[in-house]
Homo-oligomer: A and B are copies of this chain.
Amino acid sequence: MGMPADERLGLDIKRAEQTLMAAKQAAIRPAGLTVPQYAALFALAGNPGISGAALARACLVTPQAMTVVLKNLEERGFIERSPHPWHRNVLETRLTEPGRAALEAADDRAVVIERAIEAEFTSDERAALRELLARCNSAVARVAREL
Contact = CB atoms under 8 A, between A and B. Distances in A.
A8 to B, nearest CB: 5
Of the four ranges (under 10, 10 to 19, 20 to 34, 35 or more), the interface on chain A belongs to: 35 or more
Contact of A111 (B3, B60, B114): B3
A71 interface: no
Interface of A: 1-3, 5, 7-10, 12-24, 26-27, 42, 45-46, 60, 103-104, 107-108, 111-121, 125-126, 128-130, 132-144, 147
B126 A9 contact: yes
Contacts of A129: 9, 12, 129, 132-133, 136
A42 to B, nearest CB: 7
A91 to B, nearest CB: 24
Contacts of A104: 1
Interface centre among A108, A128, A140 (most CB of B within 10 A): A140
A72 to B, nearest CB: 21
